[in-house]
C-alpha cells in the first residue's frame, strides 16, 4: 500500500488541526470533538480521520492488522525517501526484530548508569540559565539537556553531540516555522549523520555496553545481523524521536510551574509527590499529540466507517482528557492516582524511551525546584500539530 495524498471526498470536515480555532485553543476543540464527533474527519492533506476517545485510540493502536504503521505514521506524510524509521514503520512481528535490539539500552541498569552524568549536565545548564539576561528555557536548557542525554545514552563523542545538537536545533526551528522544504533538507542531513555514525562504528567498534551502535552490532537478532541501513534507521528514529518531543515536554513542565507560584513553593518545600506530578503533566501536556496508522481495509471504529487506505490519527492528547477514563479530565490534579495516561502510546509501538524520558523529567523537576522563584516572560511559543505544548519559554526570576 502506498502513501496517498489524493483527496478523499467522502470524509467530512469536522475540524481543521491547523485552523485558527484549533490553534487558539486545541484542548477546547478536542473536547468538542469528543462530545460531538469522536471519530472526526478532516479534509486536510487529502483527508483523514482522528480518533479522539481513549478506547478507540487503544483499540486501533493494538490492532496492526486493521491499522498498519507501514504506510505512514505522521500526517502530513513525510516523504518515504530517506532512511526507514525503525521500528516505527514496521508492524509486528517485523518490528520486534528492532525493538528487542534497542530495548537493552533502556533497561534499569543502563538508566542508573546514565543518571549521574545527566544530573551533572542539568546542573551546569541551570547555572548558566539563571545567569542569562533573558533566559529562554527551550534553547538554554531543554534542547541541550535532551540532546546531551541522548549523547550520554548512545555513547557519542562531544563533536558528534555538537553536530547532532545543531541539526536538531535547525530542524525544530524549520518545523516550528512551517518551512517544510528546509525541514526536509535537514532531515536528509540527519540521515547522513546516522549513516556516518554507523560507518564509523563498523570501522572501529566500541564498548557494546555503552555505545549504542556497537551494542546493536553485537546483538544477535533473529533473521541475522542488522544491515547498515537498518542500524542507521534505528539510530535515526531515536535521535529525532528522543529529542524534539521531550524538549517540548520539559518546556511545558516549566511553563506550568511558572504559572503556579503555590505549586512551585510546595515543590521547593518537598511537599509534592513528584512521580504523580510528572504523570499528570504528561497527561495534560502530552507532547506527541498524534501519530498515524492507515486502515488496511474498509473497517469500523467508534461507530464510524473508515475506508481502506485512509490515514487515521491516534490522538493521545485528546484520549488523555477523556471523561470516560479520567474523572474531571480538564482539571489539573497533581495527585491524580491512578493515572492511566497514554502519552507514551500503547501497544506494539509504545515508546521505547519512556524510562529515559521519565528520568529527564525527574531531573528537570529537581532543577526547577532548586531555582529562585520564576514566572513567564513575554516570549512564549506553542508547538503545532502534530506536537503539543510549549516549545519556547522566556523566564523571569524573582
- Cα distances from 275 to residues 109, 119, 163, 282, 338, in angstroms, run 20, 17, 33, 11, 12
Q: Residue from 356, 380, 383, 393 that binds ligand HEM (CB under 6 A)?
A: 356
Residues 6+ positions from 389 with CB-CB distance below 8 Å: 248, 249, 251, 252, 255, 285, 286, 287, 382, 383
If one asks whether residue 241 binds ligand HEM (CB under 6 A), the answer comes out as yes
SS3 for 301?
A: strand
Is it true that the peptide bond before 330 is cis, omega within 30 degrees of 0?
Answer: no
**CA–CA distance, 143 with 172 (Å, rounded to integer):** 10
- Name the residue whose CB lies closest to ligand HEM: 353
If one asks whether residue 245 binds ligand HEM (CB under 6 A), the answer comes out as yes
Half-sphere exposure of 10 (CA within 13 A, CB side): 7
Q: Residue from 31, 267, 291, 365 that binds ligand HEM (CB under 6 A)?
A: 291
Q: Residue from 77, 198, 217, 238 that binds ligand HEM (CB under 6 A)?
A: 238
- Say if CB 257 and CB 368 are below 8 A apart: yes
If one asks whether residue 253 binds ligand HEM (CB under 6 A), the answer comes out as no
DSSP 385: T
If one asks whether residue 285 binds ligand HEM (CB under 6 A), the answer comes out as no
Stretch that binds ligand HEM, among 10-18, 34-42, 137-145, 240-248 (CB under 6 A): 240-248
If one asks whether residue 95 binds ligand HEM (CB under 6 A), the answer comes out as yes
Q: Residue from 99, 119, 266, 384 that binds ligand HEM (CB under 6 A)?
A: 99
Residues 6+ positions from 249 with CB-CB distance below 8 Å: 281, 282, 285, 287, 357, 361, 389
If one asks whether residue 88 binds ligand HEM (CB under 6 A), the answer comes out as yes
CA-nearest of 138, 139, 140 to 126 is 140
Site string for ligand HEM, 191-230 (x = CB under 6 A): ----------------------------------------
If one asks whether residue 357 binds ligand HEM (CB under 6 A), the answer comes out as yes
If one asks whether residue 288 binds ligand HEM (CB under 6 A), the answer comes out as yes
Stretch that binds ligand HEM, among 2-10, 238-246, 273-281, 333-341 (CB under 6 A): 238-246
The alpha helices in 15-157, defined as continuous H runs, are: 20-24, 26-36, 54-61, 94-103, 108-131, 137, 143-154
Q: Which residues bind ligand HEM (CB under 6 A)?
A: 61, 87-88, 95, 99, 150, 153, 237-238, 241-242, 245-246, 249, 287-288, 291, 316, 343-345, 347, 349-353, 356-357
Amino acid at each position: 500500500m502506498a502513501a496517498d495524498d489524493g483527496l478523499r471526498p467522502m470524509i467530512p470536515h469536522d475540524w481543521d488541526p491547523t485552523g485558527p480555532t484549533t490553534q487558539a485553543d486545541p484542548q477546547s476543540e478536542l473536547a468538542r470533538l469528543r462530545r460531538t464527533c469522536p471519530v472526526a474527519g478532516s479534509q486536510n492533506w487529502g483527508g483523514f480521520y482522528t480518533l479522539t476517545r481513549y478506547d478507540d485510540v487503544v483499540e486501533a493502536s493494538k490492532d496492526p492488522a486493521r491499522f498498519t504503521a507501514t504506510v505512514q505514521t505522521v500526517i502530513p506524510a513525510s516523504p518515504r525517501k530517506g532512511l526507514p524509521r525503525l521500528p516505527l514503520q514496521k508492524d509486528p512481528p517485523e518490528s520486534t526484530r528492532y525493538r528487542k535490539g534497542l530495548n537493552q539500552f533502556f533497561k534499569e541498569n543502563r538508566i542508573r548508569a546514565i543518571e549521574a552524568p545527566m544530573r551533572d549536565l542539568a546542573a551546569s545548564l541551570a547555572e548558566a540559565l539563571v545567569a542569562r539576561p533573558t533566559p529562554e528555557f527551550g534553547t538554554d536548557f531543554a534542547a541541550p539537556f535532551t540532546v546531551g542525554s541522548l549523547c550520554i545514552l548512545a555513547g557519542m563523542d562531544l563533536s558528534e553531540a555538537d553536530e547532532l545538537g545543531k541539526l536538531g536545533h535547525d530542524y525544530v526551528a524549520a518545523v516550528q516555522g512551517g518551512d517544510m522544504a528546509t525541514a526536509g533538507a535537514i532531515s536528509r542531513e540527519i540521515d547522513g549523520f546516522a549513516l556516518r555514525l554507523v560507518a564509523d562504528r563498523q570501522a572501529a567498534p566500541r564498548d557494546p555496553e555503552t555505545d549504542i551502535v556497537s551494542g546493536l552490532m553485537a546483538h544477535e537478532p533473529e533473521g541475522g545481523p542488522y544491515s547498515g541501513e537498518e542500524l542507521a534507521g534505528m539510530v535515526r528514529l531515536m535521535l529525532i524521536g528522543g529529542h524534539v518531543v521531550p524538549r517540548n515536554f520539559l518546556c511545558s513542565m516549566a511553563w506550568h510551574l511558572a504559572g503556579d507560584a503555590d505549586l512551585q513553593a510546595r515543590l521547593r518545600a518537598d511537599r509534592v509527590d513528584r512521580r504523580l506530578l510528572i504523570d499528570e503533566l504528561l497527561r495534560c501536556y502530552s507532547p506527541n499529540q498524534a501519530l498515524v496508522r492507515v486502515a488496511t481495509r474498509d473497517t469500523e471504529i467508534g461507530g464510524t466507517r473508515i475506508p481502506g487506505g485512509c490515514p487515521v490519527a491516534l490522538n493521545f492528547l485528546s484520549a488523555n482528557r477523556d471523561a470516560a477514563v479520567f474523572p474531571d479530565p480538564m482539571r489539573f490534579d497533581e495527585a491524580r492516582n491512578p493515572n492511566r495516561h497514554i502519552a507514551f502510546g500503547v501497544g506494539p509501538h509504545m515508546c521505547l524511551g519512556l524510562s529515559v524520558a521519565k528520568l529527564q523529567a525527574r531531573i528537570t523537576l529537581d532543577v526547577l525546584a532548586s531555582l529562585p522563584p520564576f514566572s513567564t516572560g513575554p516570549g512564549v511559543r506553542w508547538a503545532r500539530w502534530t506536537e503539543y505544548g510549549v516549545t519556547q519559554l522566556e523566564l523571569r526570576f524573582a
